[in-house]
């Protein structure tokens, strides 16, 4: 077991850091530090392309597909340096981290050739069509349907909580392709162009006043039959594979954002004197400990995840960071007091910490509520008996 990195790895770190710093100080200074998914989409698309030009867009992918075949440690290093440099949240996270690895694992040669280059080059932005109204955390209750019409699938239905849909080019969709099926049966996994008449996107305004999520309506939307990943009816398996990539390297980058948030809370506490209050010191220490343990938990998860098995650490990670961040939001507001509740009357959006407070309420819900995560831990991790399902 080892915490430190090798000399070669440290050299790679310096190389990444220097390139990233140069970009963030220079041409892309205007998008430095953007943590949300809605600001300046066009500039961020340019940034995706710039990453690709320097072969930094998907370093963990094989060299043949535009990556660097980077080792785990190199990926860790890049993720850390990326976040440290204040580079903006990746607009093409879904393509690079989720769909790409899924296609590499399960896609046909044609699908790889058709879709991977545009992701690697930063020219196709992807989003995810899983959740539906009435099927929030219950993916098996999906009602969006696709029926075969010649060489195409024709899709009817509605997805919800689709972040990035308003900027994305493509969406991967879990849809029911077999009439009369229910639950996990009869689902298929389709790659769909968003730019077509059968698709309408409506933003959902959130608790913080912004609209990151969307509803996506499918009314006769079409995709060619060769856009199905995996066999017909195997959509559940494909989506499970895809979700298994969610706890990957990108968690480390996300943690650097958490670090910035905690640092902002610490700065506020130092500014208004709460940093000297023993009661707040205990809570600040807990936050610090929690963040550090998240880091080492993620490193364990990465080190142990090779076998593909859902290790304990991977099962527990979502609930860990979501709960931590929600608690940080509460701590931030407790530290700031009333001053945390206000902004200049003409301000657009909220300052970092007020926004953290509000937005973190969504963290424990999307991507599987904390309740669902606890069920998974208990049933898959501990082998406790399944909750009885109803009759629906």
Partner 1 sequence: MAFALDEQQQMIAETAAAFFAENAGGERTRAAMASGIDRDLWRAYCRELGFGGLTVPEDLGGAGLGHVELAVVAEQAGRTLAAIPLLGHAMATAALLASDDRAAIDAHLPAMMAGDRSVAAGERGGEGLLVPHAAQCDLLLLLGEGGAHLIDASAATVEPLKSLDETRPLARVHASAGDPLPGGAAPCEAARAAGVLCLAAEALGGAQEALDRTVAFAKEREQFGRPVGSFQAYKHRLANRTVEIEQARSAVWWAACALDEGHETRALALHAAKSFCADTYLRVAGDMIQLHGGIGFTWEHDAHLFFKRARAIANMLGDGPHHRERVARIMLDDAA
Q: Residues with catalytic annotation?
A: 246
166 or 227, CB closer to partner 1? 166
| Residue 337 binds to partner 1 (criterion: CB under 8 A) | yes
47-66 binders of partner 1 (CB under 8 A) = none
Q: Are 335 and 269 in contact (CB under 8 A)?
A: yes
* Rama region for 87: left / alpha / beta (φ>0; ψ in -120 to 50; rest): beta
Binding-site string for partner 1 from residue 343 to residue 382, where x marks contact by CB under 8 A and - marks none: xxxxx--x---x--xx--xx-xxx--xxx-xxx-xxx-xx
Q: Are 217 and 149 in contact (CB under 8 A)?
A: no
3-class SS at 174?
strand
| Residue 279 binds to partner 1 (criterion: CB under 8 A) | yes
CA distances to 65, 205, 212, 254, 350 from 345, rounded to whole Å, are: 49, 20, 22, 31, 11
Shortest distance (Å) from residue 279 CB to its own copies: 5
362-391 binders of its own copies (CB under 8 A) = 388
Q: Are 338 and 272 in contact (CB under 8 A)?
A: no
Q: Are 321 and 332 in contact (CB under 8 A)?
A: no
| Residue 174 binds to partner 1 (criterion: CB under 8 A) | no
25 or 276, CB closer to its own copies? 276
| Residue 21 binds to its own copies (criterion: CB under 8 A) | no
Q: Counting every residue, how long is the chain?
A: 392
Side-chain-side CA neighbours of residue 222 (13 Å): 8
Shortest distance (Å) from residue 73 CB to partner 1: 5
146 or 262, CB closer to partner 1? 262
Q: How many residues bind its own copies (CB under 8 A)?
A: 5
Q: How many residues bind partner 1 (CB under 8 A)?
A: 99
- Select from 84-92, 129-137, 196-204, 275-283 the region that touches its own copies (CB under 8 A): 275-283
Q: Are 226 and 110 in contact (CB under 8 A)?
A: yes
Place of tokens 């049966």: 185
| Residue 391 binds to partner 1 (criterion: CB under 8 A) | yes
35 or 358, CB closer to partner 1? 358
62 or 296, CB closer to partner 1? 296
- Select from 51-59, 184-192, 260-268, 273-281 the region that touches its own copies (CB under 8 A): 273-281
| Residue 309 binds to partner 1 (criterion: CB under 8 A) | no
Angle at CA of residue 189, ends 188 and 191, nearest 5°: 140
CA distances to 59, 97, 122 from 55, rounded to whole Å, are: 7, 15, 11
67-86 binders of partner 1 (CB under 8 A) = 73, 76
78 or 153, CB closer to partner 1? 78
338-347 long-range CB contacts below 8 Å, 24 or more apart?
Answer: 339/272, 340/268
Shortest distance (Å) from residue 152 CB to partner 1: 31
* Rama region for 45: left / alpha / beta (φ>0; ψ in -120 to 50; rest): alpha
Closest CA to 244 of 378, 368, 79: 368
Q: Are 340 and 302 in contact (CB under 8 A)?
A: no
- Select from 60-68, 137-145, 232-240, 253-261 the region that touches partner 1 (CB under 8 A): 137-145
**Looking at 9, 152, 169, 234, which residue binds partner 1 (CB under 8 A)?**
9
Shortest distance (Å) from residue 61 CB to partner 1: 21
| Residue 163 binds to partner 1 (criterion: CB under 8 A) | no
276-295 binders of its own copies (CB under 8 A) = 277-279, 282
Cα-atom radius of gyration of the chain, to the nearest Å?
21
Shortest distance (Å) from residue 95 CB to its own copies: 42
220 or 304, CB closer to partner 1? 304
Q: For binding to its own copies (CB under 8 A), which residues are involved?
A: 277-279, 282, 388
């Amino acid at each position: 077991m080892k915490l430190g990195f090798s000399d070669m790895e440290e050299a790679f770190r310096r190389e990444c850091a220097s390139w990233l710093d140069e970009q963030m100080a220079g041409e892309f200074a205007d998008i430095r530090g953007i943590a949300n998914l809605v600001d300046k989409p066009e500039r961020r698309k340019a940034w995706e392309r710039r990453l690709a030009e320097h072969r930094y867009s998907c370093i963990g992918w094989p060299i043949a597909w535009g990556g660097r075949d980077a080792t785990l440690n190199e990926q860790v290093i890049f993720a850390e340096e990326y976040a440290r440099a204040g580079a903006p949240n990746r607009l093409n996270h879904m393509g690079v981290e989720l769909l790409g690895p899924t296609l590499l694992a399960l896609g046909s040669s044609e699908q790889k050739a058709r879709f991977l280059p545009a992701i690697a080059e930063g020219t196709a932005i992807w989003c995810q069509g899983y959740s539906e109204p009435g099927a929030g955390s219950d993916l098996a209750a999906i009602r969006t349907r696709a029926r075969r019409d010649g060489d195409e699938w024709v899709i009817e239905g509605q997805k919800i909580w689709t972040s990035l849909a308003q900027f994305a080019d493509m969406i991967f969709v879990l849809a029911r392709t077999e009439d009369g099926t229910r639950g996990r049966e009869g689902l298929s996994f389709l790659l769909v162009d968003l730019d077509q008449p059968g698709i309408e996107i409506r933003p959902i305004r959130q608790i913080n006043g912004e609209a990151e999520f969307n509803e996506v309506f499918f009314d006769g939307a079409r995709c060619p039959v060769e856009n199905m990943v995996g066999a017909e009816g195997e959509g559940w398996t494909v989506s499970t594979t895809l979700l298994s990539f969610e706890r990957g390297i990108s968690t480390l980058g996300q943690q650097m954002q958490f670090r910035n948030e905690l640092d902002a809370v610490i700065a506020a506490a130092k500014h208004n004197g709460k940093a000297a209050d023993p009661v707040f010191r205990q809570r600040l220490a807990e936050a610090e400990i929690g963040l550090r343990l998240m880091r080492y938990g993620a490193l364990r998860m990465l080190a142990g995840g090779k076998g593909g098995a859902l290790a304990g650490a991977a099962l527990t990670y979502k609930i860990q960071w979501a709960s931590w961040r929600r608690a940080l939001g509460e701590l931030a507001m407790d530290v700031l007091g009333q001053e945390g509740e206000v902004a200049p009357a003409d301000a657009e959006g909220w300052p970092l910490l007020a926004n953290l407070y509000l937005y973190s309420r969504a963290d424990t819900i999307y991507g599987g509520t904390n309740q669902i995560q606890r069920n998974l831990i208990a049933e898959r991790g501990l082998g406790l008996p399944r909750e009885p399902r109803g009759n629906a």
